[in-house]
Each structure stands twice: as structure tokens, then as C-alpha cells.
Structure 1
């Protein structure tokens, strides 16, 4: 695509690799739901470090995906029109979501059940008979499809003509705006968590995190319209980056509360709810860290990773397929390495690295198949 910011595609690659490592960390002692857990969360050093890693990721990386998706949404809609845009969204998001929920998700669950001595095909039958739709990490596609529909509805109701696709550059918002938006997002997250705590799914979505996701998707739309990514500099984002650094240093406090309330290895995130000090801290800590981390990634990659590269192009073209298939590959590799007696951090590194390489290699034929390449 002419004029496309190459560094944004590379950020997608890195964030996809982080998703794989995040889920690998859950396998070996971090807090959160996943198909297979070899080690439960504990007070061990390795578990605390993996919790720290996942807590940092959770603060920003999926929100970052939504921001990047929002950034390309207005131009895509204005070029294609409502009908073609929505058909494309259902093709690229809806089909992978259905494929994972009806096949890849049950397949991953069945592999784990078979490893534990239960019936492989019996698991499939039980899941289908009980109408269990496992969206797994494809919850992102589900949410993005909803956001895309909402954006189309908003554009239609606002009466904004799709022929007006020009940008209207404005200055990047000031530091006070960054602070106010983080506080507002944190406050809304805290409010939502009074009714839907972290770890509770509603239609397969963890609504406890959606104040940040919705805001960042909308911010991505505004960033395209006002050309904010090109105008982003150290000068107008340094205070947010420094603020994120200071709050991140306080992360051991957050991980202490997470580990303390982990529920003895239930495998589900159990961040304190209600209006406890820890719940309030966590709700505001997330956006205050996220805004700075996202700005730092954007600045670094725009400066050093915005040149043509055959390797990055190859990785970027396969990143979405990797995102879709990685749960099956990760579970298989972690089960194959189950008998290996090694420290958790060593197994995390080995399993994560092998999964990343295997996923990109296995995704290569998928993006070449005539029927699939339009989807992935």
C-alpha cells in the first residue's frame, strides 16, 4: 500500500510474538486462563517474574492492537464504502473467529484432555453437544468486529460522508490530556469491575478491560484523522513515558496483590475487585503505564524500523495467521516438553522461542493457499 507506515506492520509482528510469549508465561506460572498449565501461580521467583511480565503485557499490548486497528479503519471504510468494508470485516474477522470457536479451540482443548488420559474425540463431542464456543485469543477478532460495526453506525448516524477522506492535521494533545484520559479510562474500568470483575467473561469477552480497548480504538481513528502518529515526538510524549516508567517500577506492588489473590492456582486471573486499595491501584495503574509504553514503542519503531525489509515483510504478512493458529502449536510444544526437568524460566524461554519459530513457518503455506490468503 503506497505510503503505508512500515513500522506499524512491524509493531504488529512484535506484538503477535508477545502474545505467544504471554500465553507461554501462563503455561509456566503466571496468572490468567489458558488451555494448559504446567505450573500454577506461586510465590516462587520464576512465577513472580512471569506474573510481572504478563501484568505489563496486559496493561497495553491488546489495547495497542486496537489502536493500530482503529488507525487504519477510517481510510479503509472511506475507500471501500459500507457494504464492501463490512464484507471484508466479516471475511477477515468473522471466519477466523468461527473457525477457532468451532474447530481450533475444541481441538486445542481435546489435545489437553487426551494428554491427561481422557477421550480426544469424546471432548469434541461433549463441547459440540453442549454448544461450547471457545473463542480463545480470537476474542480480539470478535471485539474488533463489534467495534467496526459500531464505527460504521456512528459514521452513518453522524452523517459524515465517506467521500471526505482527507486528513485534518491537529497538534498532538498536551500532557494534561494524556493524564486526564488515563484517569478517565481507569475510573471507567474500576466502575465496570464492580459488576464484571477481571477474569469473568461475558460472551467470551473480558469486559473489565474494555474501557481501555474502546478508548484506544477510538484514539487510533482520531490519530489517523489528525495525523498524530507522524507528529508524535519525544517532546510531546516524554512526560507520559517517564510517568509510565515510574508506575512500572511500582509493579512489584501490583504483582504482590495479584499473587496474593491468585486463588491457590485456579488458573484464572483474580485481581481484587470492589473498591479495595489494590483494585483502585490496578485500575489506574494500567492506563498510566499503557500510554507511555505505547508511545515509546511507536517512537522507537518509527525511528529505527521504518525502512523496507524483505524479512520484516515476510513476517508481517504471516502475523495474523500466526495469531490464529498459535494456541494449538503452543499447547503441542509445551506438552511435548512436559517431561523435561528444567527450571520454569528456561522452559518458558525454550517453549516460547520454539512456538514463535514454528508458528511463522507453519503459517507460510496458509497465506499462500488461494482460499485462505484472502482471509489471513
Structure 2
């Protein structure tokens, strides 16, 4: 791992671990609800009777930024990859790295995971019957694999930019270079773009509805927002990363504390808005008032950008050394992401009858999910050629 890219590799691994933590605790949030007759409408595939309101805060914090940051980090190395490999090799690489895991997820991995949730309903079907029924009726389970197909789509959309509009990415890279000393330039532009990308989609689709086209699923209001973060990552990564916004000695890293404070203030404002709606506006029919929805959209975009920036600043400042606790996971992080939902949901299901404290349940599920998905990934990656996929 190069010294220059060490912090970014570690940040990507950290977000993967954060995804596992989020999927672990969502079963134990205070807002969790399970509907046996419509289990896919539940707040999570598994909802335990043991709950803690603190997990509400963690899931809200994660939801505010972590998938957008994943798209940003994924975009960083797209442009150099296209330049080095060419379009044909790039397409073959993406088909193996993203297409194959996505097909495996929707055809086998996610049905196995969601069968744990289905087992809590009154219907009694074997796994084979469950699988066939869903295929016949057009029910597909993406789970965390929605990120994989959407990333593949963004990678495909990067090719026309590479061929016909490279000046756009070059302009973003010049802005990144100017932001080594003045990070607010790029970050301010990303915030404005995020507001434009998110607020109209929020008004049209609402905050929680999902786009569904067969196995292709994604949160509708964030489709353009994710694209903006991916494009921003491409712009930063189009030339030497160490001479731009993410320079290890740049002002983003030097003034990490300022971005952490800004992110904390933005997240605090987002929390206040959400709690205000739950306490004061929950009885209103229809969509929330215009003032609340527009305020929420702007503050959400601000929290998304500033928390992402604060995470990057922290890693640039404190995770550039030769060794880091996250390093053993780095090579297997993608495989862990692809596989983790099966042990996560089945461990939550197994622990449902237990009356042990919720903290112990969370520790068991998180540790079991991480260790089992890591072990399986490490074993699979020993198969010749498997490292091209996982």
C-alpha cells in the first residue's frame, strides 16, 4: 500500500465496517417495527424486542453520509483506471468485479439472508419454494447489493465522459488542486451541487421511497446525489491525489478539527429537524410543510458533505502511518461487504428468543458477522482467479 493512498484505503475499509455495524444495530433500534403479514414493509428484516434508543442516533448518523462517501471513494480511481486499461479492459474488469457479485447476491446470497425474515411470517415454505415463488412473482432481494449494481451503472456512465467530455473531469481536478490550500472551494461546490441534486428529488419522491425495476433498486431521492459524489471522486482522482483536496499535508488534514466541528453542528441541526417532525408534525396528513421539507433537504445535504469531509480529514491526519488496525481487513473488505448480510440476519434471528441484554446481542451479531464473512472471503480469495472478483 503506498503511503499516499494508505489513508484512503483505510477510510474505505472503515466505511465497510460501519456498514456491518449499521446492519447489526438496525434490528435493535427503538423505532424498529416488524410486520409479519408484510415483512418487506418492516423497518428491518429482523426486529428484536430488545431495543435501545442510542442505536437510533447511530443509524441516523450513518444514513446521513456513509453511502455517499462510499461512492466518492469508489470514484477516486475510475479515471486513472480508464487511462491505464482502456475502455475494453475497464469494462471486463467491472463486469467481473461488480457484475458477478451482484448476480450472485440477487440469485442466491440475498434470498438466503431474507429467508430468515420470511421465517418470522405465518407462511411456511421451504427455501426452494420461497426462492421459486419470489422469482415467479418478480420479488427480488438486493439488500446491500443495491450499491454494487448502482456503482456499476456509474462506472458505465463514466465511459462517455472519458471519451467525449474529459474537460469536465479535468476542471474538477483543477478545482481539487486549488483546494489543497483552500479546501472550502471544492467542499463548497460539492455542497451546492448536493443541494441541487437532492432537494428536487426529495420533493418529488419523498425521503424514503425506493426505485424498483426488477432486481434494480435504489433510494429514489438520492439517485442524483450519489452520482454527484461519484463524479466528485472522479474529479479528485483524475490526477495526483496528493496534490489536491486530499493531499496528506494539505489544509483539509491540517484543520481536521474545524471540519469535525462543522460536521457535528450539521448533524445536530439534522437531528433537531427530524425530531421536530416526529414530535410536532407527525399528525399532519400528506407531505410535511414546504418550509420543513426544504430545510431538511438543505441540512441533509450539508450533513452529508461535512461528515464525509470530516471522516476524510481524520483519516488523512491520523491514518497515514505504516500500520493500522484496519489493514488486515483491507484486501477482504469488498468480499466482507458482499457476504455479510447472511450471517448478520441469521444471527439476529437466532438471538430473537434470548433475553440477554441488547448490548451483548449487538456484540455477538457484529463480531460473528465480521469474523464469519471475513473467513469465507479469505477462503474464496484463495481460489485461482477469485481476487479479480472479490
Verify: 1:291 aligned to 2:310, yes or no.
Answer: no
User: Is contact 1:199–1:206 with CA below 8 Å preserved after alignment?
Assistant: yes
Residue-by-residue CA offset, 1:247-269 (whole Å, 9 max, x unaligned): 223344244257569999xxxxx
Q: Which residue in the other structure is 2:88 paired with?
A: 83
Verify: 1:228 aligned to 2:251, yes or no.
Answer: no
Q: Please, which of 150, 155, 159 is the counterpart of residue 152 of structure 1?
A: 159
Structure 2 unaligned regions, length at least 5: 33-41
Structure 1 unaligned regions, length at least 5: 265-271
Q: Please, which of 228, 244, 264 is the counterpart of residue 245 of structure 1?
A: 264
| 1:232, distance to aligned residue in structure 2 (A) | 4.6
| 1:316, distance to aligned residue in structure 2 (A) | 0.6
Q: How does 1:292-311 map to 2 (within 5 A)?
A: 292-309=306-323
Calculate the TM-score normalised by the size of structure 1: 0.84
| 1:102, distance to aligned residue in structure 2 (A) | 1.1
Relative distance call for 1:177 and 1:70 in structure 2 (3 A) is closer
Question: Hey, what's the Cα distance between the residues in 1 that align with 2:69 and 2:159?
Answer: 21
Relative distance call for 1:238 and 1:193 in structure 2 (3 A) is same
Q: How does 1:155-194 map to 2 (within 5 A)?
A: 155-158=162-165, 170-172=177-179, 174-175=183-184, 178-179=187-188, 181-194=190-203
Question: Hey, what's the Cα distance between the residues in 2 that align with 1:328 and 1:372?
Answer: 20
Q: How does 1:107-118 map to 2 (within 5 A)?
A: 107-116=112-121, 118=124
Verify: 1:364 aligned to 2:383, yes or no.
Answer: no
Q: How does 1:295-334 map to 2 (within 5 A)?
A: 295-309=309-323, 312-334=326-348
| 1:86, distance to aligned residue in structure 2 (A) | 1.0
| 1:116, distance to aligned residue in structure 2 (A) | 4.5
Q: Please, which of 109, 128, 131 is the counterpart of residue 121 of structure 1?
A: 128
User: Is contact 2:332–2:377 with CA below 8 Å preserved after alignment?
Assistant: yes
Q: Which residue in the other structure is 1:71 paired with?
A: 76
User: Is contact 1:24–1:348 with CA below 8 Å preserved after alignment?
Assistant: yes
Residue-by-residue CA offset, 1:87-107 (whole Å, 9 max, x unaligned): 111111111111111111111
| 1:80, distance to aligned residue in structure 2 (A) | 0.3
User: Is contact 2:114–2:141 with CA below 8 Å preserved after alignment?
Assistant: no
| 1:301, distance to aligned residue in structure 2 (A) | 1.9
Question: Hey, what's the Cα distance between the residues in 2 that align with 1:208 and 1:159?
Answer: 28
User: Is contact 2:245–2:252 with CA below 8 Å preserved after alignment?
Assistant: no
Relative distance call for 1:39 and 1:254 in structure 2 (3 A) is farther
Verify: 1:6 aligned to 2:6, yes or no.
Answer: yes
Q: How many residues align?
A: 360
Counterpart secondary structure, 2:99: helix
Report the aligned-residue RMSD: 3.1
| 1:181, distance to aligned residue in structure 2 (A) | 3.6
User: Is contact 1:257–1:278 with CA below 8 Å preserved after alignment?
Assistant: no
Calculate the TM-score normalised by the size of structure 2: 0.82
| 1:220, distance to aligned residue in structure 2 (A) | 0.9
User: Is contact 1:187–1:284 with CA below 8 Å preserved after alignment?
Assistant: no
Question: Hey, what's the Cα distance between the residues in 1 that align with 2:118 and 2:310?
Answer: 41
Q: Which residue in the other structure is 1:199 paired with?
A: 208
Counterpart secondary structure, 2:246: helix
Question: Hey, what's the Cα distance between the residues in 2 that align with 1:274 and 1:151?
Answer: 36
User: Is contact 2:64–2:304 with CA below 8 Å preserved after alignment?
Assistant: yes
Relative distance call for 1:305 and 1:238 in structure 2 (3 A) is closer
Question: Hey, what's the Cα distance between the residues in 2 that align with 1:273 and 1:114?
Answer: 34
User: Is contact 1:200–1:206 with CA below 8 Å preserved after alignment?
Assistant: yes
Question: Hey, what's the Cα distance between the residues in 1 that align with 2:103 and 2:198?
Answer: 29
Question: Hey, what's the Cα distance between the residues in 1 that align with 2:343 and 2:109?
Answer: 11
Q: Which residue in the other structure is 1:137 paired with?
A: 144
Q: Which residue in the other structure is 1:267 paired with?
A: none
